């Protein structure tokens, strides 16, 4: 699996939720903080995003907004319109009738583990605005168009197509953001890591074979750099040393396997590169503060669906490998 796909898989804890909204001005909606990441897609018309900090942002047809930390915010036909709480929508749809212009949106949330976000997610601003610009982000534009057509047509199979497209939207949002940064000449952070062939080769090697006992020298060979040069460049762009990143990936993958499968602990250990179940349990406890068996039991006991009206998020962003 490549680094971007693996990053999404590592953070995802469930399927996204989404609500189609059909609104006529005047209208204003307040979205509470969610334990994940929020998103909005403007399918038709226009509106204003009212972020928790900063000036209102004008949104037009095809625009996409991604709120990486799920912070509370507002959407309205006009910045001066009073906001009301976003209500639970029956059947995944919300309508508001008024005398003014029509706006159609897709609003939702991704279930992501913000306690251990992938380092590339922390590289994004709290609010990512991807305007519909001709000639840019063709895949994202195509996904938005497909979503709009599926929601409008209500043809057989839409119940499967819409969730799949919403899921795919997250990949395209992240790809578009980092592509835009690279196109603008930004070569620092994860935008630089994903656009640097040497570092990307090392990242893909790690993600394609987590169980391999990688050394910095071997990863440097994949990158075509000396050990010291590779370690410096990797750490400068990714934000942590190569082996710390490898450990982070292994432990995060192990946590996903413990959450989502019934694989024995020994099998999980083997999949993430530990030949000893004892060594795996010790490493896992160092990262998560509890042994893997207790982690699996605790997660399943506390697991619950995420909705856009959720107001609790006690997660803290942690550093890579810390």
pLDDT in tens, the chain (322 residues): 688 888 888 778 778 888 889 999 999 999 999 888 999 999 999 999 999 888 999 999 999 999 998 899 999 999 999 999 998 654 578 889 999 999 999 998 898 887 778 888 888 999 999 998 887 888 998 888 888 888 877 778 888 888 888 889 999 999 999 989 888 888 889 999 999 999 999 999 999 999 999 999 999 999 999 999 999 999 999 999 999 999 999 999 999 899 889 999 999 999 999 999 999 999 999 999 999 999 999 887 776 544 433 332 332 233 344 3
Answer yes or no: do 86 and 109 share one domain. Answer: yes
Torsion sign (Cα): 256, 257, 259, 261: positive
Structural domain includes residue 236: yes
Whole-number Å distance between alpha carbons of 272 and 210 = 6
Burial level of 107, CB count in 10 A (0-12/13-18/19+)?
Answer: buried
Q: What is the pLDDT of residue 1?
A: 67
Number of domains the chain is built from: 2
Structural domain includes residue 311: no
Answer yes or no: do 255 and 168 share one domain. Answer: no
Answer yes or no: do 208 and 126 share one domain. Answer: no
Answer yes or no: do 10 and 137 share one domain. Answer: yes
Q: What is the pLDDT of residue 268?
A: 97
Beta bridge partners of 21: 94, 105
Answer yes or no: do 179 and 204 share one domain. Answer: no
Structural domain includes residue 206: yes
Answer yes or no: do 253 and 155 share one domain. Answer: no
Domain boundary among 130, 156, 183: 183
Structural domain includes residue 315: no
Q: What is the pLDDT of residue 88?
A: 64
- How is residue 209 annotated by DSSP? -
Structural domain includes residue 55: yes
Domain that residue 76 falls in: 3-183
Whole-number Å distance between alpha carbons of 200 and 234 = 10
Answer yes or no: do 174 and 264 share one domain. Answer: no
Tabulate helix, strand, coil % of the chain (nearest 5).
Answer: 45, 15, 35
Whole-number Å distance between alpha carbons of 125 and 133 = 20
CATH code where residue 272 lies:
1.10.10.60
Answer yes or no: do 246 and 160 share one domain. Answer: no
CATH code where residue 53 lies:
2.60.120.280
**Two tokens at 58?**
């004008």
**Two tokens at 130?**
């991807």
Q: What is the pLDDT of residue 303?
A: 60
């Amino acid at each position: 699996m490549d680094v971007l796909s693996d990053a999404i898989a590592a953070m995802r804890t469930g399927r996204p939720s989404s609500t189609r909204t059909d609104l006529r001005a005047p209208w204003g909606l307040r979205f509470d903080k969610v334990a994940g990441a929020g998103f909005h897609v403007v399918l038709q018309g226009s509106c204003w995003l009212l972020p928790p900090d900063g000036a209102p942002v004008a949104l037009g047809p095809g625009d996409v907004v991604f709120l990486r930390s799920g912070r509370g915010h507002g959407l309205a036909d006009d910045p001066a319109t009073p906001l009301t709480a976003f209500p639970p929508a029956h059947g995944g749809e919300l309508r508001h009738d008024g005398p003014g212009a029509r706006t159609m949106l897709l609003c939702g949330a991704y279930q992501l583990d913000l306690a251990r976000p992938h380092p590339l997610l922390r590289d994004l601003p709290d609010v990512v605005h991807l305007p519909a610009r001709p000639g840019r982000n063709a895949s994202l534009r195509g996904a938005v168009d497909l979503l709009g057509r599926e929601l409008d047509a209500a043809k057989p199979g839409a119940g499967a197509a819409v969730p799949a497209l919403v899921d795919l939207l997250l990949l395209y949002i992240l790809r578009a953001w980092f592509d835009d940064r690279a196109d603008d000449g930004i070569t620092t952070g994860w935008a630089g890591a994903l656009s640097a062939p040497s570092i990307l080769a090392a990242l893909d090697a790690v993600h394609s074979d987590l169980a391999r006992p990688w050394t910095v020298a071997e990863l440097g060979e994949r990158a075509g750099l000396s050990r010291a040069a590779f370690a410096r460049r990797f750490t400068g762009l990714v934000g942590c040393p190569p082996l710390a990143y490898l450990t982070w990936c292994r432990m995060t993958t192990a946590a996903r396997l413990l959450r989502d499968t019934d694989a024995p602990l020994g099998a999980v250990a083997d999949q993430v590169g530990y030949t000893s179940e004892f060594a795996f349990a010790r490493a896992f406890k160092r990262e998560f503060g509890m042994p893997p068996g207790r982690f699996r039991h605790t997660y399943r006991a506390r697991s619950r669906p995420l909705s856009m009206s959720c107001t609790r998020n006690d997660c803290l962003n942690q550093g890579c490998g810390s």
